[in-house]
Amino acid sequence: MKVGDKMINRVNSMEVRKINRNAIYKFLYKRDPISIQEIAQSLNMSLPTVTQNIKELQERDLIIETGLFESTGGRKAKAITFNSQKYAIGLDITRNHVGIVLIDLSGKLLKNVRKQYPFVNSKEYFQGVGNLVKEFIDESTIESSKILGVGIALPAILSADKQTVNYATVIDFQGGSVKEFCEFIPYPCILSNDANAAGVAELWNEDDIQNVVYLSLNNSVGGSIIIGKNIFSGQNQRSGEFGHMTIVQDGRTCYCGQKGCVDVYCSAKILSDSTNGSIAEFFRLLKLNNEPQKTLWDEYLSHLVVVINNLRMLYDCNVIIGGYAGAYMDEYIEELRELVSKRNSFEVDGKYLHVCKYKLEATAVGAALQHVENFINNI
Ligand SMILES: [Zn+2]
């Protein structure tokens, strides 16, 4: 054997060890406490390999023993699970607010606040965001060493490396950079597009769903296309901009400058403008059959079902409706399913349509999950 071969072998065996360790960790991440024997069996690994890796992961405080399983004769097996006590912060930056969340390693939402804090492209603004994050972390009493980082979701189209903003009209941040936030936030920062972040949150820990289209009905309409668990970004990071599909030829003028965009007909604002900006109040009055809410809703639905049917025709996968307006649609899902099925050329029902599971802060949670995902992938 030549020296070079030896080195390759050593690199390979290190790689294999890393792959095994990562597979064991990911396996534990998705499950209830389990024994070493069961891990070995499920992953088709030898008992010594699993035992060695478990020891390593335990030394790094990444997994914990939660007790012993009932014995089936012989020694009782230890119950092992992953240690969820690492944390990530997520920010949802909008035109007028900052939403902040704290999640643990499992993706569980532990704490959230939403503050009115209008976006201004200035040093004072970014310093203010840094202060909000600091206050939030202080209140949560989490040790800073256990915080993986801060994910920041923006209503903007990012560059391919996610370091800068290529396009933004909802907030005045075109050409902006992650560095502007980093200057005042003493943790690693990652930028995300807002709708993509929310889509990621919806699919987190949903092992059975590979492909989904997420339609975000916020004060601007956006979306996310997830194929094989990965976001399809498109050639210019502009995929899923469902808000700017033309739905009415020469229709009303959109903020983008074009006419007849989905955004003009399906943004949450169309509804909440009738109730001083409160979407909760809109749905409360709608339930009472109040006017003009009832008329607005009927008109809103007539456009929304066209959009949803078009998405189904394009992608042939589940469609999740979310955002401020989508979060209130559980009560109307059967009506919506019926309406979309009437438009469908192939299907007799609308079972593919779902309402988002995160009613609150999906975008900020998804932004925070970027850090969790990086952490898990690099174990
Ligand atoms: Zn538009």
pLDDT tens for the chain, 379 residues: list them: 555 566 666 668 778 888 889 999 998 888 888 888 888 999 999 999 999 999 999 999 898 888 777 766 667 788 888 888 899 999 999 999 999 999 999 999 999 999 999 999 999 999 999 999 999 999 998 999 999 999 999 999 899 888 999 988 888 999 999 999 999 999 999 999 999 999 999 998 888 888 999 999 999 999 999 999 889 989 988 899 999 999 999 999 999 999 999 999 999 999 999 999 999 999 999 999 999 999 999 999 999 999 999 999 999 999 999 999 999 999 999 999 999 999 999 999 999 999 999 888 999 999 999 999 999 998 8
**Alpha-carbon span 129 to 98, nearest angstrom:** 8
* Structure confidence at residue 16 (pLDDT): 84
Given phi > 0 = left and psi -120 to 50 = alpha, else beta, which region is 318?
beta
**121 CA from centroid of ligand 1 (Å):** 23
pLDDT tens across 222-262, in order?
Answer: 999 999 988 998 998 889 999 999 999 999 999 999 999 99
**167 CA from centroid of ligand 1 (Å):** 13
**259 CA from centroid of ligand 1 (Å):** 7
**327 CA from centroid of ligand 1 (Å):** 23
Q: Cβ distance 259 to 252 under 8 Å?
A: yes
Q: Which residues surround ligand 1, an ion (CB under 5 A)?
A: 244, 254, 256, 258, 261
Give the residue from 59, 82, 105 where a domain finishes: 82
Helices (H), 161-278: 178-182, 194-203, 262-266, 268-272
**Alpha-carbon span 137 to 132, nearest angstrom:** 9
pLDDT tens across 62-84, in order?
Answer: 988 887 777 666 677 888 888 88
Q: 98: domain range?
A: 87-199+362-377
Look at strands 157-158 and 212-217 and give their pairing. unpaired
**40 CA from centroid of ligand 1 (Å):** 53
**65 CA from centroid of ligand 1 (Å):** 53
Same domain, 162 and 293: no
Same domain, 346 and 230: yes
* Structure confidence at residue 205 (pLDDT): 83
Same domain, 194 and 270: no
Same domain, 221 and 186: no
CATH code assigned at 121: 3.30.420.40
**334 CA from centroid of ligand 1 (Å):** 29
**94 CA from centroid of ligand 1 (Å):** 18
- Reduced to 3 states, what is the DSSP secondary structure of residue 300? helix
* Structure confidence at residue 14 (pLDDT): 78
- Reduced to 3 states, what is the DSSP secondary structure of residue 99? strand
Same domain, 331 and 234: yes
* Structure confidence at residue 68 (pLDDT): 77
Same domain, 253 and 147: no
Give the residue from 60, 82, 104 where a domain finishes: 82
* Structure confidence at residue 31 (pLDDT): 81
Minimal CA–CA distance to 136: which of 322, 314, 364? 364
CATH code assigned at 39: 1.10.10.10
Its sign, for the CA torsion 203, 325, 167, 130, is: negative
Same domain, 241 and 303: yes
Q: Which tokens sit at 285?
A: 């009055």
- Reduced to 3 states, what is the DSSP secondary structure of residue 109? strand
**249 CA from centroid of ligand 1 (Å):** 12
**Alpha-carbon span 20 to 211, nearest angstrom:** 27
Residues across the chain: 379
Same domain, 242 and 338: yes
**118 CA from centroid of ligand 1 (Å):** 22
CB atoms within 10 A of CB 48: 9
Same domain, 347 and 238: yes
**252 CA from centroid of ligand 1 (Å):** 10
67 CB contacts (<8 Å, ≥6 apart)?
33, 78, 79
Place of tokens 């390999």: 49
Same domain, 349 and 215: yes
Same domain, 21 and 106: no
**242 CA from centroid of ligand 1 (Å):** 9
Give the residue from 47, 82, 117 where a domain finishes: 82
Report the domain count for the chain. Answer: 3
H or E stretch including 110? strand 109-116
**Alpha-carbon span 188 to 130, nearest angstrom:** 13
**264 CA from centroid of ligand 1 (Å):** 7
Same domain, 192 and 231: no
